Amino acid sequence: MRWMVTGAGGALGTDLVARLGAPGTPPADTLTALTRADLDVTDPDAVHGAVRAWLAAPGEGPAVVVNAAAYTAVDLAETDPGAGAQAWAVNAEAPGLLAAACAAGGATLVHVSTDYVLGPLPGGERRPLEPGDPTAPVGVYARSKLAGEERVRAALPGAHHIVRTAWLYGATGPNFVRTVARLSRERDTLDVVDDQHGSPTWTADLADGLLALARSSAPAGTRHAAGGGATTWWGLARAVFEELGADLGRVRPCDTASFPRPAPRPAWSVLSDVSWRAAGVAALPPWREALHRAVTHHPELLLG
């Protein structure tokens, strides 16, 4: 297969590139990894030129673009008009450009989206969310991500995989796990939100899943993939403390109202893996097991 990874310098992109270059990768596979410095995904000419050049290079087999580029500074996007415009360009317009370039060249696009696009279930029901559940994005980031999904579907209807995920953390870059580990050394106690529910997702596991989906015979569509099970931010913080061997009593639960943020967070974003498994792809491992593996293989996560 021929692979292109955009956003290759981010946490998820780094894991995708590592997986595609790891021992055991089919020797005929070829990889083009593009960081933000290599490709401005918001530049139409650059995107189309990069995809054309990639497809024209030596190589055989199906061609797959995995778009891991995203603007994720959700609070800044709400408070700074320039940041909001950048979020829209990267999250909404760029996926459409990539999809159009893939359509012109006969490639498949795997596009990563987010739980933020989904809305609350009717009547306050709480069950794992399916791809067909209502979308109701609130905030600049959430609206931009849903717009990106819509543009991918419109430009590349028969050759896309849109994958919504949630609560990502990786070995590189800032994330909740790293922040909690740092604060454990700086503060006697931590107050952490306990009324937002989701599924923490280790980027290495998601990278494996995205590549397996792209290699499968699954039809185009939208699917959910996140760490198995569910918790709250408070529960995840306690798990980090547990990995540190720290006193769990130092992590105190609070509600969202105690920590107002510019961008609203979903209160319930537990994602169902039914659509994922129906595509013939193994479900991502349980989130707690994944966290232990993450800090075992990358102890620097616990250094903050």
For the question of residue 169 being annotated catalytic, the response is no
pTM, full prediction = 0.96
Q: Considering just the CA atoms, what is the radius of gyration of the chain in Å?
A: 19
CA quadruple 120, 198, 78, 223: dihedral positive or negative? negative
Q: Give the model's confidence band at 28: pLDDT under 50 very low, under 70 low, under 90 confident, else very high.
A: low
- For residues 203, 205, 208, 213, the Cα torsion angle rounded to the nearest 10 degrees is -100
Distance of CA 86 to the CA centre of its chain: 18
Q: What own/partner pairs with CB < 8 Å and gap ≥ 24 does 251-255 have?
A: 251/189, 251/190, 251/192, 252/189, 252/190, 252/191, 252/192, 253/191, 253/192, 253/193, 253/194, 254/191, 254/192, 254/193, 254/194, 255/193, 255/194, 255/195
- pLDDT (average), residues 42-46: 98
pLDDT over 90 at 123, yes or no: no
Distance (Å, rounded) from C-alpha 259 to C-alpha 195?
Answer: 11
How is the chain split into domains, by residue range?
Answer: 2-174+200-230+269-285
Regarding the domain delimited by 2-174+200-230+269-285, which CATH topology (the fold level of the hierarchy) does it fall under?
Answer: Rossmann fold (3.40.50)
* Per-residue pLDDT at 24: 65
Residue among 71, 116, 141, 169 flagged as catalytic: 141
User: For the segment 128-167, what is each residue's pLDDT rounded down to a tens digit?
Assistant: 999 999 999 999 999 999 999 999 999 999 999 999 999 9
pLDDT over 80 at 25, yes or no: no
User: For the segment 207-234, what is each residue's pLDDT rounded down to a tens digit?
Assistant: 999 999 999 999 999 999 999 999 999 9
- pLDDT (average), residues 256-276: 93
User: For the segment 106-120, what is each residue's pLDDT rounded down to a tens digit?
Assistant: 999 999 999 999 998
